[in-house]
């Protein structure tokens, strides 16, 4: 597959177009120039955007991270060649999904491509799923190391076995371990459970012998507790009269508390006046915070204003050229083109006609002179003299015009400090390029000025909105500081009002929970001889102590009765010892079967690990060998062998050394070379070889010195003969190297 053109409204890209070609594409852009955005766009166009991904404290979900800065809907198009035909793939917003819309059409006919959908696009075109592509042919920033993944593992297994990609050693191992853990995992699983049941049956056999003795003891305890409960109930009846008197006092106290709480609430309501709801106040506070945030953003934009204007002034000063005063780039180019063309005309030989005429007249004069001498005719001498004079004049005029043309040519070249006409055009072209920089700086100034205007307008609109909001309950406020104070005071009053209302509700509930005094049941309103009723003296124990003792007796009595019921139930539930023995034997047999299954699963897991070792023995040599070849090329032959673990951790052996060195012991540049070699090897071995997927690298060579960079570009150029390579870089050295070495490319 080869990509011809990409068009993106994605993140910082707004209708941006990227033209690509076969082979090695070196795409240079400065930091934050959109390189990683282009890479993410290509991946999203092929595999879509994970809609279930959510923001975290440290990362943004892809749908939010690459939402267009302009606010436009996310959209994109890729023109590519696949299986000999040009195809246009488009993704666009649909519903709540930023890339939910999809279509794939034949670029020539506009007909839909059968079987190509938004869900299977990447896997159909590239032959692998998203995870395999990201771990092989897609190298993001700081993404050279490749880690293990079940999907990549299945792909590798398919390459060295049956070709089916539905089996993964990791997943099969996990399944077997799950089955094994179901049988026994520490103290859980079927085996420990059966062991526990067997132990329980044995315990039940012993418990049956003790059951009768427990029944007798519990019956005696129940009779004693019944007698004690009768005594405590009598004591509790004597305390009820006193309790009625206490309840009246509690009722009157609760009524006073309710009256005080209502008075406090009324005072607060008068102080607060009409207030907005708490949610509205909280929302206004949030808008005030946003108002302050806008101030910070405005200050940041104002801080940028002077630097961008300085860059514009510097660009304008740098673009000035005394050769083109007051001319725009196109006028300067036209003037230089005319002057260059004039120089070319002046370089052509001039006066050829005059020179030829002068020569002819001299020859004619010579012929006439010879004739006159022979014929002795004086009259013939006159034309002879006239011809000679005219010939001399023509020759003099031709030489004078040639000198004037040379002086004019030298004057034009000297004006441009040029030696050739093309130097004049180069000077005009440099003038045009400087004005391109001026236009870019001018657009930056306009963007900053527009941002300042927008932020100022937003801030003023929000200020007016906040003032209008608080004037409903604080008309004296005139500035944001007063808004903040008014909101805080309103929220405080709202909180105090809520507390007062809760206090009133609590007092009301307490009063409602107490019995109201009446003439019939209130001992305090009854009088004896006009005197208030005197409550009976308190018993030896307080009501709480009596209630606690009665509760304890009742609880203990209930416990004894439960024990009696449990013992009676056990007597029926335990059955005779022969039945319990039969159950124990059945549990013993089931336990033996589970232990045999556990042993069989352990053997199966060992066999699986052995099979995985054999599978790795078939694939690892090829991967290690190819990675070693690429690493040797990337290091100029310094290292000659690479070894990869099951988790794709790499080690390398230097030429002449005996033992390999782990990646942790190598320099950062060498580690990047090592994992670039592993990436390229995995890409070659794990991705389909027919109509191969493009290789995408985002600043993968940024930490390489110039020597390592040259070796890496040599390797990538070799790979680009078989597959398209997209190398995004923030440096100009890669393109410069390619231009210096373009004769070696095929």
Tens of pLDDT, residues 381-422: 555 566 566 666 767 777 888 888 889 888 888 888 888 888
| Whole-number average pLDDT of the chain | 81
Tell me the average pLDDT across 159-172. 46
| Strand bridging mode 2-10 / 13-19 | antiparallel
pLDDT recorded at residue 506: 92
Sheet containing strand 2-10, strands side by side: 13-19, 2-10, 75-82, 85-94, 97-106
Positive or negative: CA dihedral 582, 585, 591, 596: negative
pLDDT recorded at residue 240: 73
Query: How far is C-alpha 695 from the geometric centre of its chain's CA atoms?
Result: 21
CA angle 161, 167, 169 (to 5 degrees): 90
Residue 531 has pLDDT above 60, yes or no: no
pLDDT recorded at residue 447: 92
- Cα–Cα distance between 25 and 725 in angstroms, integer? 6
Tell me the average pLDDT across 61-76. 93
Contacts of residue 428, defined as CB under 8 A and 6 or more positions apart, other chains included, come to 324, 332, 333, 335, 336, 337
Alpha helices by DSSP H, 161-277: 169-183, 190-238, 240-272
pLDDT category at 607 given cuts 50, 70, 90 is low
In 3D, which of 91, 87, 106 has the Cα closest to residue 43?
91
Residue 3 has pLDDT above 50, yes or no: yes
- Cα–Cα distance between 469 and 487 in angstroms, integer? 10
- Cα–Cα distance between 88 and 77 in angstroms, integer? 7
- Cα–Cα distance between 701 and 733 in angstroms, integer? 11
* Cβ contact 727:700 at 8 Å: yes
Residue 204 has pLDDT above 50, yes or no: yes
Query: How far is C-alpha 20 from the geometric centre of its chain's CA atoms?
Result: 26
pLDDT recorded at residue 525: 44
pLDDT recorded at residue 159: 44
More confident residue, 202 or 11: 11
Residue 494 has pLDDT above 60, yes or no: yes
- Cα–Cα distance between 147 and 139 in angstroms, integer? 12
Residue 693 has pLDDT above 80, yes or no: yes
Write down the residue that tokens 């012993």 correspond to.
Answer: 206
pLDDT category at 605 given cuts 50, 70, 90 is low
* Cβ contact 424:339 at 8 Å: yes
Q: Which of 339-353, 374-388, 553-567, 641-655 has the highest mean pLDDT?
A: 553-567
* Cβ contact 122:129 at 8 Å: yes
| Strand bridging mode 75-82 / 138-139 | unpaired
Least confident residue range of 338-347, 398-407, 530-539, 682-691: 530-539
pLDDT category at 161 given cuts 50, 70, 90 is very low
Q: What is the pLDDT of residues 443-453, one digit of tens each?
A: 999 998 999 99
pLDDT category at 24 given cuts 50, 70, 90 is very high
Tell me the average pLDDT across 488-514. 86
* Cβ contact 95:32 at 8 Å: no
Three-state SS across 268-322? Answer: HHHHHCCCCCHHHHHHHHHHHHHHHHHHHHHHHHHHHHHHHHHHHHHHHHHHCCC
- State pTM to two decimals: 0.43
Least confident residue range of 112-126, 162-176, 601-615: 162-176
pLDDT recorded at residue 335: 87
pLDDT category at 330 given cuts 50, 70, 90 is confident
pLDDT recorded at residue 661: 85
Query: How far is C-alpha 311 from the geometric centre of its chain's CA atoms?
Result: 33
Tell me the two tokens of residue 52. 């279930």
- Cα–Cα distance between 287 and 296 in angstroms, integer? 14
Q: What is the pLDDT of residues 257-307, one digit of tens each?
A: 888 888 988 888 787 778 888 898 889 889 889 988 988 998 898 898 889
More confident residue, 645 or 32: 32
Q: Which of 153-157, 173-177, 699-703 has the highest mean pLDDT?
A: 699-703
Residue 518 has pLDDT above 80, yes or no: no
SS3 state of residue 176: helix
Report helix angle 577-634 to 150-160, nearest 10: 80
pLDDT category at 162 given cuts 50, 70, 90 is very low
pLDDT recorded at residue 142: 58
Give the percent of the chain with pLDDT over 70. Answer: 80
Q: What is the pLDDT of residues 85-100, one digit of tens each?
A: 999 999 999 988 899 9
Residue 534 has pLDDT above 90, yes or no: no
- Cα–Cα distance between 35 and 698 in angstroms, integer? 7
Residue 374 has pLDDT above 80, yes or no: no
CA angle 435, 440, 445 (to 5 degrees): 120
More confident residue, 312 or 109: 109
Q: Which of 118-127, 461-470, 609-618, 643-652 has the highest mean pLDDT?
A: 118-127
Give the percent of the chain with pLDDT over 90. Answer: 23
- Cα–Cα distance between 43 and 25 in angstroms, integer? 17
SS3 state of residue 653: strand
Burial 64-74 (b: 16+ CB within 10 A, else e): eebbbeeeeeb
Cα separations (Å) of 693 from 469, 480, 688, 713?
Answer: 60, 59, 8, 19
pLDDT recorded at residue 532: 56
Q: What is the pLDDT of residues 699-741, one digit of tens each?
A: 888 888 999 999 999 999 999 999 999 999 999 999 999 889 8
Residue 577 has pLDDT above 70, yes or no: no
């Amino acid at each position: 597959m080869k990509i011809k053109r990409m068009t993106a409204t994605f993140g910082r890209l707004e209708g941006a177009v990227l033209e690509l070609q076969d082979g090695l594409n070196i795409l240079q852009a400065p930091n934050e120039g959109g390189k990683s955005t282009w890479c993410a766009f290509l991946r999203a166009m092929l595999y879509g955007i994970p809609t279930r991904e959510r923001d975290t404290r440290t990362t943004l979900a892809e749908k939010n991270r690459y939402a267009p800065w302009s606010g436009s809907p996310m959209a994109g198009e890729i023109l590519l060649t696949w299986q000999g035909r040009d195809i246009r793939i488009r993704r666009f917003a649909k519903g709540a999904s930023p890339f939910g819309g999809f279509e794939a059409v034949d670029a020539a006919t506009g007909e839909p491509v059968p079987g190509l959908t938004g869900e299977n696009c990447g896997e159909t075109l590239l032959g692998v799923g998203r995870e395999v592509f990201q771990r092989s042919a897609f190298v993001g920033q700081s993404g050279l190391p490749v880690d293990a993944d079940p999907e990549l593992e299945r792909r590798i297994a398919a390459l060295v076995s049956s070709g089916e990609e539905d089996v993964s050693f990791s997943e099969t191992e996990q399944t077997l371990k799950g089955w094994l853990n179901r049988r026994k995992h520490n103290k859980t699983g079927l085996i420990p459970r059966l062991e526990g049941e067997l132990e329980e049956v044995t315990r039940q056999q012993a418990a049956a012998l003790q059951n009768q003795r427990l029944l007798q003891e519990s019956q005696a305890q129940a009779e004693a507790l019944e007698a004690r409960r009768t005594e405590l109930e009598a004591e509790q009846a004597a305390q009820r009269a006193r309790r009625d008197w206490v309840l009246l006092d509690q009722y009157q106290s609760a009524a006073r508390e309710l009256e005080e709480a209502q008075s406090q609430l009324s005072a607060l309501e008068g102080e607060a006046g009409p207030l907005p709801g708490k949610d509205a106040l909280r929302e206004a506070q949030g808008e005030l915070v946003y108002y302050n945030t806008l101030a910070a953003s405005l200050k940041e934009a104002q801080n940028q204003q002077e630097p961008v204007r300085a860059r514009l002034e510097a660009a304008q000063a740098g673009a000035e050229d005394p050769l083109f005063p007051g001319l725009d780039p196109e006028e300067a180019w036209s003037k230089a083109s005319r002057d260059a063309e004039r120089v070319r005309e002046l370089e052509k030989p001039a006066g050829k006609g005059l020179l030829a005429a002068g020569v002819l007249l001299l020859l004619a004069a010579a012929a006439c002179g010879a004739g006159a001498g022979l014929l002795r005719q004086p009259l013939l001498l006159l034309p002879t003299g006239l011809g000679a004079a005219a010939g001399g004049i023509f020759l003099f005029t031709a030489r004078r015009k040639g000198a004037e043309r040379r002086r004019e040519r030298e004057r034009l070249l000297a004006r441009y400090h040029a030696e050739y006409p093309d130097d004049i055009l180069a000077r005009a072209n440099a003038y045009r390029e400087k004005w391109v920089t001026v236009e870019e700086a001018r657009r930056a100034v306009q963007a900053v000025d527009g941002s300042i205007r927008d932020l100022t307008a937003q801030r003023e609109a929000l200020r007016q909105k906040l003032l209008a909001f608080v004037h409903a309950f604080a008309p004296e406020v005139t500035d944001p500081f007063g808004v903040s104070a008014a909101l805080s005071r309103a929220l405080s009053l709202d909180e105090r009002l809520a507390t007062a209302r809760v206090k009133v509700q609590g007092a009301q509930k307490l009063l409602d929970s107490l019995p109201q005094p009446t003439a019939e049941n209130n001992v305090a309103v009854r009088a004896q001889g006009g005197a208030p009723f005197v409550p009976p003296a308190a018993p030896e124990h307080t009501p709480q102590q009596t209630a606690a003792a009665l509760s304890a007796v009742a609880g203990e009595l209930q416990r004894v009765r439960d024990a009696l019921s449990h013992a009676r139930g056990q007597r029926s539930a335990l059955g005779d010892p022969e039945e319990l023995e039969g159950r124990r034997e059945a549990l013993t047999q089931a336990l033996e079967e589970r232990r045999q299954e556990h042993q069989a699963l352990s053997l199966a897991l060992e066999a699986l690990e052995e099979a995985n070792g054999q599978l790795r023995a078939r694939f690892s040599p090829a991967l290690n060998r190819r990675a070693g070849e690429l690493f040797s090329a990337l290091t100029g032959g310094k290292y000659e062998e690479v070894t990869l673990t099951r988790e794709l951790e790499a080690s390398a052996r230097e030429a002449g050394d005996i033992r390999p060195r782990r990646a942790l012991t190598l320099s950062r540049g060498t580690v990047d070379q090592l994992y670039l070699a592993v990436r390229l090897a995995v890409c070659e071995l794990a991705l389909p070889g027919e109509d191969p997927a493009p290789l995408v690298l985002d600043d993968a060579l940024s930490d390489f010195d110039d020597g390592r960079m040259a070796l890496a570009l040599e390797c990538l150029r070799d790979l680009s003969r078989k597959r398209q390579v997209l190398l995004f870089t923030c440096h100009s050295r890669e393109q410069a190297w390619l231009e210096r070495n373009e004769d070696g490319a095929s």
